[in-house]
Structure 1
Amino acid sequence: MRFSMISLSVLTLVSATPAFADETAPPPPITINGSATVVTDYRFRGISQTDKNIAVQGGITVSHESGFYVSAWGSSVSGYVTAAGNSAQELDLIAGFKKTWNGTTFDIGALYYVYPKTKLPGSVVSSDFIEPYVSVAHTFGPVTAKATANYAPKQKALSLDQIGPKQDNLYLAGDLSAAIPGTPIGLTGHLGHTFGPSWLSIGKEYTDWGLGATVTYKALTFGVQYVDTDGDFITPTGKNASKAGVVGSIGVSF
C-alpha cells in the first residue's frame, strides 16, 4: 500500500558542467534531475503512509531526448503499509516514455513498488507489486489539466491480506495546476477514485481530493496541501489515516 505527498533531507548531488560550456548549445541527449523533500505527513491517494508523522523522501530521474526515462524514488513509511508490519521504507522503480505535441503531453510507463526487508523467512505474505500507468496533460496558458489512469493487474500483494486470493486495482485521477503569472506561486487541485476491493483500496472503493499551493525560491519549493477522503482506515495507534489533514513540505530540486 503506497500512500504519498512531499519531503527535508540533506541530500546533495553534484553535477559536472564544463567550465566553458556554450550557453546557446542544444540540451544534452541525457539529463539527470533529482529532488529531496521533507513532508509533515506522507500521503498517497489521500491516505497517510506514516501514521500522520513526518517523512523523508528523495528521488532521481534520468531522461533521454527520445522521451524515455527511468526513475527511482524513496520514502520512509510506517509498518502498517504492508501486512508483514515491518516496513520502514518504500522504493519506487519507474520506467516510461513521455512526449509533448502541441501543448499536450502523453506519458506511459510502469511503476514497481518495493518494500525492502519485508519478506521474512518462511512468510507467505507478498508486499511488492507492479502498476502500469498512462496520463494525458494539456496546457492552457498558465493552467495545466491532467488525467491519469493507474491499473495494477491481479497480484498477491493486492489481496486484502497480501496472502490471497490475488486482486487487481484501478485508480483514476484528474489534476489541475496553475502558475500565477509574475509570481513564484503555484496552485493545485486533485480528485481521484480508487476502485476495489484490494489492499490499495482499504478493502473497498473510495474517493480522495486535495487543494494545495507552492512557493518556489531558487531551488527550494515550499508547499502546503489540504487532503481528504471519504474512506476509513484506522492505524494500529488508533489514528484515522484517511481523514482530512494539512500537509506541509519543503524540498530542493537539482
Structure 2
Amino acid sequence: MKKLALLATALAMISSSAMAADMAVKAVKAPPPAPFDPWDIAFGAGVMNDYIFRGVTQSNHNPSVTAYFEPRYNVTKDLQLYVGTSTESISFANRAAAEVDVYGGIRPTFGAFAFDVGIWGYLYPGGTCFFGAPFDTAGNAVGPECATNFLLNGNVMKKDVSFFEVYGKVTYTINDNWAFSLNEYYSPNFLNTGAWGNYSSIIGKYTAPSTVFGSSGVGMYVSGEFGRQWLGTSDSFYGVPAFPNGIKYADYDTWNIGIGFTYKVFTLDLRYSDTDLSKGNCSAFTSAFNASGTTDVTPINPLGTGSNWCGAAGIAKLSVDLTAASNLK
C-alpha cells in the first residue's frame, strides 16, 4: 500500500509539473507582429564645392547647398509610389534665384531588378532675360526686358529656363558588393531652349564589405558613370546669323568616377567629372556669363567665346540622408 501511495504521489507531482510547464510556455508566447505601415518619408541635405549636372557646372564652379523631402507610399514590399521636391543653389546666366525640383514616380522591384519610372520638373524662379536687342536673329520681337539687358560676351539666355523630363531607371544588384544601373531621361524642351534632350547613362557601383573598417561603422563604395547627352535644335531666340532659326546644340559624352565613405546617416563623396564638349560649344550650350576670348569659334558660336563650365572638375559632397521609418522611431 505504501508503494502504491508513493507511486500515486509521484504521478500527481509529474502531472502537476507538466501542467505548470505548459502554462509557462503559454504565458511567454510571442506578441503578434506589428501592423504594416505603408507610409514613409525620406529627407536630407548636402553641401558641395561644385554642383555638377551631367558634366556641366550649375554653380559656376562655386559651392552649392541642397535639400530634399520625399514622401513615400509602399503598396507592398516590392512596389513604392513617391513624390518629392528638392532645391539647389545655382549660378546661371539669367541669374535665377535657385533650382527647385518637383518629381514623382513609381518604384517596382522584381527580384534583383529595381525599376524607377517617373517625371521630373526643373524650375528656375527669379530669372532675368539677357539678349540686348529688340529682335532675335530671325526677326522676332523679344520684349522690352530682353532688349535692355545684355551680357558683355554676347551670350543670351531666356528669363525662364524651366523644363521637365520623363525618366526610367533599372538597377541590377548582383550581390552585396556589386550593382549596375541603366538610366534614360527625355525632355521635349530641354532648358526651355526649344531643343529636345535625351540622356542615357550606365552606372557601376562596388560596395566594400562592412568588415573593411572593422567595427567602426564606416562603409565605403566606389562608383562610376558614363553617359551621353543628345540635343536637338533650339528656337530662334538662340539663333546665330548662320542659323537664324536656331542652333543644333552639340551632343556630348560625360563621365565621372569617385569614392564614397558612409557613417550612419552621413555620406562623403569625392568625385572627378568631365565631358568632351569644346569650350566654344560649351559657351553656346550654357550661355555662360563669364565665357571669354574670341578663339573658340564653332558653327554655333561665331563670336568665339570659350567656357570652362563643361570641363574637368573635382567634387566633394557631404550629405545626410534619413527616413522617418528608420531614423525617427
TM-score calculated relative to the size of structure 2: 0.62
Q: Residue type matched to 1:79 in 2? A: F
Equivalent residue, structure 2, for 1:131: 165
Q: Name the CA distance, whole Å, in 2 between partners of 1:25 and 1:222.
A: 35
Q: Aligned match of 1:78 in 91, 99, 104?
A: 91
Secondary structure at 1:52 match in 2: coil
Write the deviation string for residues 206-253 of structure 1: whole angstroms up to 9, x where unpaired: 000000111011221111000010013243234501111110011111
CA change 1:100–1:243 in 2 (3 A) is same
Q: Tell me: CA distance 1:246–1:157, structure 2 relative to 1, closer, same or farther (3 Å).
A: closer
Residue 290 of structure 2 corresponds to 237
> Relative to total residues, which structure has the larger helix share, 1 or 2?
2
**1:1-254 counterparts in 2 under 5 A?**
25=34, 28-66=37-75, 67-80=80-93, 85-118=94-127, 125=158, 126-141=160-175, 142-153=177-188, 155=189, 157-159=191-193, 166-182=194-210, 183=212, 184-197=219-232, 203-231=249-277, 232=279, 233-234=282-283, 235-238=288-291, 239-254=307-322
Deviation at 1:26, TM superposition (A): 5.6
Q: Could you give the per-residue CA deviations for residues 34-53 of structure 1, whole angstroms, max 9, x where no partner exists?
A: 11100110000000001101
Counterparts of 1:113 and 1:202 in 2: how far apart (Å)?
22
CA displacement at 1:203 relative to structure 2: 2.1
Q: Which has the larger radius of gyration?
A: 2
How far residue 148 of structure 1 moved from its aligned partner, in angstroms, is 0.7
Change in CA separation of 1:198 and 1:251 when aligned onto 2, cut-off 3 Å: farther
Q: Which 5+ residue runs of structure 1 have no aligned equivalent?
A: 1-21, 160-165
TM-superposed CA distance for 1:98, in Å, is 0.3
User: Deviation string for 1:175-207 (max 9, x for gaps)?
Assistant: 1112101240011110000001357x9921000
Structure with a larger share of its residues in strand: 1
Report what 1:4 is aligned to: none
Distance 1:111 1:156, change over 3 A: closer
The CA distance in 1 between the partners of 2:83 and 2:317, in whole Å, is 25
Identity of aligned residues (%): 25
Secondary structure at 1:113's aligned position in 2? strand
Number of equivalenced pairs: 220
